[in-house]
A and B are shown apart, each in its own frame.
Chain A
Amino acid sequence: MEFTIDWYFLIEKLLLISAVLGISLVVAMYSTWGERKVAAWIQDRRGPNRAGPFGLLQPLADGGKLFFKEEIIPAQANRFLFVLGPSLAMFTACLTSAVIPWGDSLTIAGREVSLQIADINIGVLWIMAVVGMGVYGIMIGGWASNNKFSLLAACRGASQVISYELPMGLALIALFMLSGSLSLKDIVEQQRDGLWFVVLQPIGFLIFLICAFAECNRTPFDLPEAENELNGGYHLEYSSMKLGFYLFAEYINMFISSVLMATLYFGGYAFPYMDSLGLDGNMLTILGIVALFLKTFFFIFLFMWVRWTIPRFRYDQLMKLGWKVLIPLALLNMLITGAVVLFRQNGFNF
């Protein structure tokens, strides 16, 4: 049997991976700027406006500052794990972007190029798995610092992430009952023809949204950030760019979960009446990408908006919400969805 390598395919995927990585990094970078701007606007201030026009060079200045700060590894820390922690956080944050369909396919020089790095049929499972791995970044960071407080904080952070992954998964199961597929591309294509899933699964979306906030350690679940009352979090002993990596990973996570929410519940790159516009393939794809990014930016804004509105939970309240409210609610949602799907399949149309 002849064995050939499809070089075009490899190059195409490599380019796509670099583009997706680059875009996520740039979006995360400018989310830090956006966060500060939104915070300022909500508090009747102006926000960064000194570095470059509208303070647009502020993320670069912040990055430069972080790089030049003194890097401290505590004497009793496990040096290997101490470095591994933030790298892992960053790595897992970047990994999830692989299965997201960033748009329909483009036709370049007769080749159809799919704007999804890997259209695997277990797309969402992959995301849940990688997000689960994100716990290691938190836990290892807290453990390696050899500081009791950061270890406690790491336990807090890890148990928070694990607790909220359950209702998130349950909410998604209800979604899969409707879609019948775990592939994100399939899910988007179904929303292209039919209704957006947020209409069919409003409670599921709400649960997913709350869990996404908790998974990203964003307000009101930002206990790792509670420096005054909880001694900071798992990154208590971190300084310089290693701390920067942890914080930056949070912003990448925020971007990815915004894309995910747009994809799963708001039609991804599909927008209403897109097929009746009479545009050709490439143009439609580009418009689709724009639509996806608009939805994503709205969710990123939502993340920030909530952060400057709602105060953070006490830890026991946070756990109570996760286990006693969200999980039963998600189970109930699943039950009802399952019943409706079953009735439909058996010919009861109501």
Chain B
Amino acid sequence: MQSLTNRATPVDRRPMTFAEKLYLPAIAKGMGITLKHLFKKKATVNYPEETRPFSPVFRGLHILNRDEEGRERCTACGLCAVACPAEAITMEAAERLPGEEHLYREEKYAARYEINMLRCIFCGFCEEACPKQAVYMSETFAPANYQRKGFIYGKDDMLIPHPQKQIKENNQ
């Protein structure tokens, strides 16, 4: 039979010599190998304390972005929901009232914006579809929850903190 690689070696079928039959040299060799591993660098990452850095193209949980003045960018156009192959995104639009100009960037905004993280396949199409640069995928991942409804992320889970409020709070 033609060998698939050039690394193939024939099996050694010679009968064992006396030293080999004793097994003790082989055992000593094996114990040497395991002893070496005792001092090797551990491959483990201490997960909650240390996290492995992701590549910049990693697509994790979604965030809803704000503009420079802290207003929500999303205008509830629904393009992300249309682009979503898993149909994980639902939203309800509402009209901006007078006096709310500091909250929402455009006349229309998302009163309710939910992503079902159990359905989401993290393809990133929502990010690409968004014309307002409102939805981004972050580098955090894998939420844990005891109930299915805990995986439906609302606006309060995804909206990034208000930049100016955050500064004020930090100064206090």
Contact = CB atoms under 8 A, between A and B. Distances in A.
Interface of A: 38, 41-46, 49, 305-306, 308-310
27 contacts: A38-B38, A41-B37, A41-B38, A41-B42, A42-B37, A42-B38, A43-B37, A44-B42, A44-B43, A44-B44, A45-B42, A45-B43, A45-B44, A46-B42, A46-B44, A49-B46, A305-B31, A305-B34, A305-B35, A306-B31, A308-B34, A309-B27, A309-B31, A309-B33, A309-B34, A310-B27, A310-B30
B37 A44 contact: yes
B7 interface: no
Interface string B22-39: 000001001101110110
A317 B42 CA distance: 35
Contacts of B42: 41, 44-46
B149 interface: no
A310 B41 CA distance: 22
A41 B42 CA distance: 8
B40 interface: yes
Nearest to A46: B44
Given A44-B40, A44-B41, 17 more contacts: A38-B38, A41-B42, A42-B34, A42-B37, A44-B42, A44-B44, A45-B42, A45-B44, A46-B42, A46-B44, A46-B46, A49-B46, A305-B35, A308-B34, A309-B31, A309-B34, A310-B30
Contacts of B46: 46, 49
Contacts of A306: 31
A42 B37 CA distance: 5
A75 B107 CA distance: 73
Q: How large is the interface on B (under 10, 10 to 19, 20 to 34, 35 or more residues)?
A: 10 to 19
Contact of B30 (A38, A46, A309): A309
Which one of B35, B41, B42, B43 has the greatest number of beta carbons of chain A within 10 Å? B42
Nearest to B37: A42
B9 to A, nearest CB: 23
A297 to B, nearest CB: 15
B120 to A, nearest CB: 31
B35 to A, nearest CB: 7
A42 B41 CA distance: 11
Contacts of A43: 37
B39 to A, nearest CB: 8
A308 B38 CA distance: 11
A312 to B, nearest CB: 13
Nearest to B35: A305
Nearest to B28: A309
A44 B31 CA distance: 15
Contacts of B41: 44
A304 B31 CA distance: 11
A305 B33 CA distance: 11
Nearest to B30: A309
Interface in B16-67: 27, 30-31, 33-35, 37-38, 40-44, 46
A121 B33 CA distance: 43
Contacts of A44: 37, 40-44
CB-CB nearest 8 A-B residue pairs: A309-B34, A41-B38, A42-B34, A44-B43, A309-B30, A46-B44, A42-B37, A309-B31
Nearest to B29: A309
Contacts of A308: 34
A207 to B, nearest CB: 12
Contacts of A46: 42, 44, 46
A42 B36 CA distance: 8
A219 to B, nearest CB: 12
Nearest to B24: A206
Nearest to B48: A50
A38 B34 CA distance: 10
Contacts of A41: 37-38, 42
A309 B23 CA distance: 13
Contacts of A38: 38
A6 B37 CA distance: 55
A306 B43 CA distance: 22
